[in-house]
Amino acid sequence: MPDLLQIGGITDTMKERLEAAFTIHQLDEFEPEKITHVITNGHDGVSPELMASLTNLEVISGYGVGYDAVDAEEAARRGIYVTHTPNVLNEEVATTAVLLLLACYRELLRDDAYVRTGEWKTKGNAPLTRSADNQTVGILGLGRIGQAIADKLAPWNAKILYHSRNKKDVSYTYYDDLTEMARDSDVLICITPGGASTNKIVNKDVLHALGPNGTLINVSRGSVVDEAALIEALQSGALGWAGLDVFEAEPAVPQALRDLPNTVLLPHVGSATVETRAAMGALTVDNLLKHIKDGSVMSAVPECAHL
């Protein structure tokens, strides 16, 4: 059986299917030259040093759609397939973005605490919140998940703006300048890939343009937002609210962010439901099994699509 290196956790179903076809190795016990296949995830990826040491590597199968933790160009140069799990998680991650948006607008955490602490009884009715209806929502990265977010916001009668490198064939308003889009938005939702081209593109100027009544939602990667500038903007009131699923140095989240009352924080659970992780897990394993069967894969990342 071919030798598979496992990086990060997998479900029991994934393990069962993989054990029937591969000898599975963990990071603390493997011979680099024996490994032909790797299973990893969006967070751990494969370090450049590890990839260089795996001289007979043929496939890196990622349990997630984002692959910024793998050097896909270098893999393609070496003829190694990198695969990921597009589409099967679109709806779940979009739901997470909408969940964060609604929690910020309707002060879900504050009002939940208002009931639990007994303040409702001692102080009377909770302060009013803001309506999430009829808002102008700027989507940074109108790809597979960005479009699912736009679709899910339709019942709230959202006006959709978007920024990406290329204008799409859609009816929403395109902005080639992110700061200008933030200025015209009530909410900015980040859902681009991570990596060098998006590193800290949501900077101080963008956050200040979004403004004191503005809400930032980040379900992309922590690297997309300048976290120090975000903390400063939320503390000073230059930015109103932030709903965050991802952070710069996960799982470490700055104490300053955790102390702020105008944030809703999630531990990178955008796709983390039983149903969606089952679909992602199935595709992650299918990519590996297809490769040992006929040398091809199901869902290569664009850099490796020509292999």
Active-site residue list: 221, 250, 268
CA separation (Å) from 138 to 71, 129, 160, 206, 291? 29, 21, 6, 12, 40
Return d(Cα 223, Cα 246) in angstroms, integer.
9
User: Does 270 engage in binding with ligand 8YV (CB under 6 A)?
Assistant: yes
Q: What is the DSSP letter of 18?
A: H
* Smallest separation (angstroms) from ligand 8YV to the CB of 71: 16
Task: Residue 193: name its binding partner from ligand 8YV, ligand NAP, none (Cβ under 5 to 8 Å by kind).
Answer: ligand NAP
Contact predicate 51/75, CB 8 Å: yes
CA–CA separation, 132 and 249 (whole Å): 30
Q: Which of 89, 98, 230, 234 binds ligand 8YV (CB under 6 A)?
A: 89
Residues 6-45 that bind ligand 8YV (CB under 6 A): 41-43
* Residue 162 Cα distances to 108, 185, 212, 222, angstroms: 27, 10, 21, 20
Which residue minimizes CB distance to ligand 8YV? 64
- Measured from the CB atom, the residue of 77 and 168 that comes closer to ligand NAP is 168
What size, in residues, is the chain? 307
Contact predicate 207/231, CB 8 Å: no
Number of residues that bind ligand 8YV (CB under 6 A): 11
Q: Is 271 in the site for ligand 8YV (CB under 6 A)?
A: yes
Considering the rule CB under 6 A, would residue 144 count as an interface residue with ligand 8YV?
no
Residue nearest to ligand NAP (CB): 143
Residue 33 or 250 with smaller CB distance to ligand NAP: 250
Binding mask 42-81 for ligand 8YV (x = CB under 6 A): xx-------------------xxxx---------------
Closest to ligand NAP by CB, 66 or 214: 66
What kind and span of H or E run contains 63?
strand 59-63
Does position 194 interact with ligand 8YV (CB under 6 A)? The reply is no
Residue 45 backbone class (left: φ over 0; alpha: ψ -120 to 50; beta: rest)? left
Where do contacts with ligand NAP occur on this chain (CB under 6 A)? 65-66, 86, 89, 93, 141-146, 164-166, 191-194, 197-198, 219-221, 245-246, 268, 270-271
